[in-house]
């Protein structure tokens, strides 16, 4: 190829070392495209104008791609009108430079390698920029500086570089988006018509919500004692176990119905959460397990369950007092290292916002809910965040929760793609137990207790998951069985109408 024109040196930043670049590779790559436009159809990386060190080369590439996308042929002749008044083009000899790029066909042989090098060098320049910003921030010793926040910001910037993201963000064509939608429909078809996302492991819930979808923020809320953490733990275990099983069966990752799970437990320690999972999977009472009131046979059940769970792709982070920025940093790290595909946060109100929110709790909760939704989109995974409900539920005769009961901020409802409430009527019926009759009591006392016992028998072990909001389908409720001893939720065996839609 003809010698590449010399470009003006970039303005010095005070550092004699040059930024990573290869202007000759850029020129050779552009020449290959202008000789044969089909080169862009088989590139190992997705290039854009920002990846070129020389701005003129970036503009040439952008205009070339614009012509190709319009089904026009990009050649030095068709590009000429767009660069006749370009000052940088004039500085290298005018539009004749376009023809100079195609002076040799040598670039055609190594076009893929040139593209990869251009992309890699662009990432290195971004890395240099992140490093300089980190150094400048670290040298600032004013009182307003928060070192922990700087670390989190630096890790966020590094994550963007690691993911190949530039400041322009990601843009998808409708064709690419529709292909993703078709793949989700294919997953649902192959699963029997109910599951397009990650499984919850509970058939009636899958049938109602279609599984847990990537980039969704799911809020799982309920009053204390309803079983929020138990249900979240069940779902986390089921998703991780399905991932392990599908992987062992040789099912490719894109068709795996499970996911590796990150469980952020801000309320319970990792060993407490592990105790719950062991109780659920071994059938041994969690209370008996904690107090050591188990037989040798039950201990053997626990040992077998613990052995089976050793390779379960479920990662527990029980760091207390996490900020939303800190949680996002840890989640990115887990996905980078382990390929996390589902995140659970227990629970939302225990997260902290930034110092900017001050004493405004509503503003802080709004920041947290937005941060969780951003995390779901950024990592392209479903995020399930548990949430408390306000006490106004207790003042109503019907204790079933509503969207207005979400505590402290309406932004939780606004940011969520799906809102699920856990409700167990037997919890409230048990609390209304009248005086237990003894010999000699009035017949009314006996009748009242018998009436209560009949009602308790009707609702005992039943739970409802109320789908109060769903961007993917209808709202309604799912009826489940709840085993109090092991805190395990499962499908009802004797109910033909496991779920129903609201009017």
- Report pLDDT for 169: 43
**What's the mean pLDDT in 61-67?**
91
Instruction: Look at residue 465 and give its three-state secondary structure.
Output: strand
Pairing between strand 217-221 and 499-501?
unpaired
> Among residues 137, 154, 175, which one ends one of the domains?
137
d(CA 150, CA 257): 38
Taking only the tens place, the pLDDT of each residue in 439-451 is 877 888 888 888 8
Task: Give me 404's structure tokens.
Answer: 């207005």
- Whether residue 15 lies inside any domain: the answer is no
**Which DSSP letter does residue 255 get?**
G
> Among residues 418, 450, 474, which one ends one of the domains?
418
- Whether residue 70 lies inside any domain: the answer is yes
Q: Which domain holds residue 81?
A: 23-137
- Report pLDDT for 166: 41
Question: Is the pLDDT assigned to residue 224 strictly greater than 60?
Answer: yes
Task: Give me 346's structure tokens.
Answer: 């227990």
> Among residues 116, 137, 158, which one ends one of the domains?
137
- Report pLDDT for 75: 94
- Report pLDDT for 260: 92
What share of the chain in percent tops pLDDT 70? 81
Question: Is the pLDDT assigned to residue 212 strictly greater than 70?
Answer: yes
Within this chain, do residues 236 and 305 fall inside the same structural domain, yes or no?
yes
Within this chain, do residues 86 and 223 fall inside the same structural domain, yes or no?
no
- Whether residue 208 lies inside any domain: the answer is yes
- Whether residue 222 lies inside any domain: the answer is yes
d(CA 66, CA 121): 24
Within this chain, do residues 401 and 269 fall inside the same structural domain, yes or no?
yes
Within this chain, do residues 271 and 363 fall inside the same structural domain, yes or no?
yes
**What confidence tier does 167 reach under pLDDT thresholds 50, 70, 90?**
very low
Within this chain, do residues 286 and 414 fall inside the same structural domain, yes or no?
yes
Question: Is the pLDDT assigned to residue 422 strictly greater than 70?
Answer: yes
């Amino acid at each position: 190829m003809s010698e590449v024109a010399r470009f003006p040196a970039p303005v010095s930043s005070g550092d004699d070392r040059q930024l990573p670049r290869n202007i000759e590779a850029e020129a050779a790559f552009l020449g290959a495209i202008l000789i044969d436009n089909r080169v862009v159809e088989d590139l190992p990386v997705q290039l854009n104008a920002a990846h070129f060190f020389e701005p003129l080369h970036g503009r040439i590439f952008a205009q070339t791609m614009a012509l190709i996308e319009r089904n026009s042929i990009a050649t030095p002749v068709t590009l000429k009108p767009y660069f006749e008044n370009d000052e940088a083009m004039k500085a290298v000899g005018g539009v004749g430079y376009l023809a100079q790029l195609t002076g040799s066909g040598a670039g055609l042989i190594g076009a893929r390698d040139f593209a990869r090098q251009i992309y890699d060098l662009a990432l290195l320049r971004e890395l240099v920029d992140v490093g300089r910003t980190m150094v400048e921030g670290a040298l600032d010793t004013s009182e307003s500086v928060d070192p922990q926040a700087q670390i989190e910001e630096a890790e966020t910037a590094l994550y963007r570089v690691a993911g190949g993201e530039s400041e322009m963000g990601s843009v998808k064509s409708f064709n690419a988006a529709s292909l993703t939608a078709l793949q989700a429909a294919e997953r649902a078809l192959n699963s029997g018509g109910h599951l397009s996302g990650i499984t919850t492991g509970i058939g009636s819930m899958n049938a109602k919500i279609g599984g847990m979808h990537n980039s969704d923020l799911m809020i799982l809320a309920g009053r204390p004692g309803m079983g929020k953490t138990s249900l979240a733990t069940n779902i986390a275990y089921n998703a991780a176990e399905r991932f392990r099983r599908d992987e062992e069966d040789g099912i490719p990752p894109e068709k795996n119905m499970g996911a590796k799970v990150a469980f952020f437990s801000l309320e319970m320690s990792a060993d407490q959460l592990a105790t719950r999972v062991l109780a659920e999977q071994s059938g041994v009472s969690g209370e008996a397990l904690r107090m050591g009131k188990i037989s040798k046979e039950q201990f053997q059940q626990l040992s077998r369950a613990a052995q089976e769970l050793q390779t379960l792709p479920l990662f527990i982070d029980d760091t207390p007092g996490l900020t939303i920025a800190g949680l996002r940093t840890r989640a990115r790290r887990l996905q980078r290292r382990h390929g996390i595909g589902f995140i659970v946060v227990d629970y939302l109100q225990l997260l902290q916002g930034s110092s900017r929110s001050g004493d405004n709790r509503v503003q802080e909760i709004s920041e947290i809910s937005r941060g969780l939704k951003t995390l779901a989109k950024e990592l392209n995974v479903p995020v399930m965040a548990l949430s408390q409900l306000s006490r106004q539920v207790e003042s109503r005769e019907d204790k079933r929760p509503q969207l207005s009961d979400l505590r402290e901020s309406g932004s939780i409802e606004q940011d969520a793609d799906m809102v699920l409430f856990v409700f167990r009527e037997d919890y409230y019926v048990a609390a209304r137990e009248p005086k237990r009759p003894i010999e000699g009591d009035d017949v009314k006392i006996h009748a009242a207790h018998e009436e209560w016992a009949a009602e308790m028998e009707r609702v005992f072990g039943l739970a409802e998951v109320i789908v109060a909001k769903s961007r993917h389908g209808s709202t309604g409720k799912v009826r489940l069985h709840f085993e109090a001893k092991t805190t395990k939720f499962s499908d009802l065996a004797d109910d033909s109408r496991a779920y129903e839609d609201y009017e």
